[in-house]
Structure 1
Amino acid sequence: MIYCLTGKILKKSLDSVVISCAGVGYYVQVPATTGEALPAPGQEGTVYTIMNVTENDVSLYGFANEEQRDCFKMLTAVTGVGPKAGLSILSIMSPEKVALAASSGDYKAFTKASGVGPKLAQRIALELKDKVGKGLANGNGFSGDMGTPAPSSAPAQAVAALVSLGYTPSDAAAAVARVDETLPVQDIIKVALRSLSRAR
């Protein structure tokens, strides 16, 4: 398996990149967020990859970081979510937002991705709820089953704090998901606590 590719970017679009490594140009399909994060053609960049081998095709999928790649693995492990849908979701949502939406049961967030209907979105939220809820409750942010936990972000720290106060991971994630994630951790916790106390 190819873990990552580092080399000169020959071509770049919103959904793919051609990266030259040791004289070989690799065509890698990427989510839009990765396409935006990579440097311009002619410069050197790194993508963390997953190789998908089927009877008729060998495809490489690339991501800006390991957290995004682990999120893609977890999404495509859900019944009915293929690589195309996985890339589509990661084009509009960060792994952190995927974790918050799944653990709070907010399936509608997934329907904003191209090719993801309400039924599939509900299945994603249902199948990932427990997996990502544990990661958020432990303060890991988005932690896939494969790979190391991502560095803790403010929303993940807020969820962990609320869980330690006795709230369930899904209630805590739902409250945090409604708060502006750019706020400091303490402010996210305060706003989330206000909405949780109103709900009781």
Structure 2
Amino acid sequence: MFYYVSGPVAHIEANLAVIDCGGVGYACRTTSHTLSKLKQGEKAKLFTHLNTREDAVELFGFGTQEELNLFRQLISVSGVGPKAALSILSATTPANLALSIITGDEKALTCAPGIGKKIAQRVILELKDKLAKGQTLGTAGESYGGSGITVIPENKLSEASAALAVLGYSQGEINLALKGLELDSLTLEQIIKAALKKMMKH
């Protein structure tokens, strides 16, 4: 229903930003990561997700498409609701969270308030499984049809590609972003951050 809201930031509180759009204040539940980049009175643009339940209609807003994509990925996991997804996203950056999911780092998820080991394991298992079924990555980073049971290869290029896919990028966008990066001299985290910078320029 809403793709984004844009306007001056009218109010900020814990996990909430109110954006004034033509005299109407849209209350967007959000992460500490997005809140850290907002200033009251200054213009902001938040990419949104409308969540409807029997007893409530809530608008969630995020500073980047990557954070919104990860939020949607997280709430697709059984047992993870919007509140838990916000908690996970507030504990780290989108790039680092995608990296944690691909590398199976449970501790990065359990440091979020209210997130136990079982939920962390389920997030990692379901999102890695979705990724494996959606695409199988070769060592050169190309995408080809898979059976859905292929394990994502354990090398920097394929892990970086998988993490960027979790953030919602297509394989074509990922290949372009990774092209020309000095993979041998960079850590996995540095590769992902450099690729994100390249994609944000386009």
Same fold (TM over 0.5): yes
- Aligned counterparts of 2:58 and 2:172: Cα–Cα separation in 1: 26
Whether 2:18 is the aligned partner of 1:6: answer: no
Change (3 A) 1:7 1:147: farther
- Aligned counterparts of 2:116 and 2:82: Cα–Cα separation in 1: 15
SS across alignment from 1:139: helix
Ranges of 4+ aligned residues in structure 1 off by more than 3 Å: 130-136, 138-141, 144-152, 180-185
- Partner residue of 1:172? none
State the Cα distance separating 1:103 from its structure 2 match. Answer: 1.3
- Aligned counterparts of 1:98 and 1:118: Cα–Cα separation in 2: 15
Cα deviation, 1:150-178, whole Å, max 9, x if unaligned, reads 976xxx949x987xx9xxxxxxxxx836x
SS across alignment from 1:74: helix
- Aligned counterparts of 1:72 and 1:161: Cα–Cα separation in 2: 30
Q: Which of 165, 184, 188 is the aligned partner of 1:176?
A: 188
User: How do 1:102-141 and structure 2 match up within 5 A?
Assistant: 102-132=101-131, 137=158, 139=161, 141=163
- Partner residue of 2:164? 142
**Which stretches in structure 1 are left out of the alignment for 5+ residues?**
166-174, 186-200
**Which stretches in structure 2 are left out of the alignment for 5+ residues?**
138-156, 196-202
Between the aligned residues of both structures, percent identity stands at 35
SS across alignment from 2:18: strand
User: How do 1:1-200 and structure 2 match up within 5 A?
Assistant: 1-38=1-38, 40-132=39-131, 137=158, 139=161, 141-144=163-166, 157=178, 176=188
Cα deviation, 1:77-111, whole Å, max 9, x if unaligned, reads 01111101101111112222122111111112100
CA contact (8 A) 1:132 1:142 kept: no
State the Cα distance separating 1:130 from its structure 2 match. Answer: 3.7
- Aligned counterparts of 2:194 and 2:166: Cα–Cα separation in 1: 25
Change (3 A) 1:184 1:103: closer
SS across alignment from 2:98: helix
How many residues in Structure 1 have an aligned counterpart in Structure 2?
167
Change (3 A) 1:84 1:150: farther
Change (3 A) 1:35 1:128: same
